[in-house]
Copies of this chain bind each other. A is one copy, B any other.
Amino acid sequence: MLGAMTVPHEPELADVPLTAVMQALSDEVRLCIVRELAAGGEAVCGTLELDVSKATRSHHFRVLREAGITRTRLDGTRRYVSLRAGDLDERFPGLLDAVLAVPSGA
């Protein structure tokens, strides 16, 4: 029981139900993450500005990853996270765009 941290699990988008994606995108913190990723491309987890603890941050990244929304690349002790925009748009056409079109203010 040790590979869990080194090899994050990323599902096939075909196996992800719509409810899981909607659920993942129904949290303000996770929406922030998605927006920042959309705007700035790949990013290191710790560099994103979020008003939550390390543990909570890690939790949200996991939810996004397991909903097929993000991909995680390992580089030493850092983790680079990016949007699976292509996969997502193939599975749920227009959904991510519609979400990203909404300004963060409301």
Taken residue by residue from 82 to 106, chain A's Cβ proximity to chain B (1 for < 8 Å, 0 otherwise) reads as: 0000000000111101110110001
Q: How many residues of A contact B (CB 8 A)?
A: 20
Smallest Cβ distance from A4 to chain B, in angstroms?
26
Q: Do A97 and B94 form a contact, CB below 8 Å, given A19-B26, A22-B22?
A: yes
Tell me how many chains of this kind the complex includes.
Answer: 2
- Quick check: is A75 within 8 A (CB to CB) of the other chain? no
Q: Does A95 contact B99, Cβ atoms closer than 8 Å?
A: yes
Smallest Cβ distance from A21 to chain B, in angstroms?
8
Q: Does A28 contact B22, Cβ atoms closer than 8 Å?
A: no
Taken residue by residue from 37 to 68, chain A's Cβ proximity to chain B (1 for < 8 Å, 0 otherwise) reads as: 00000000000000000000000000000000
Q: What is A's interface to B at a CB cutoff of 8 Å?
A: 17-19, 22-23, 25-28, 31, 92-95, 97-99, 101-102, 106
19 example contacts (A-B, Cβ-Cβ < 8 A) are as follows A18-B31, A18-B99, A18-B102, A18-B106, A19-B28, A19-B31, A22-B22, A22-B25, A22-B26, A23-B26, A26-B26, A92-B102, A93-B101, A94-B101, A95-B95, A95-B98, A95-B99, A97-B98, A98-B98
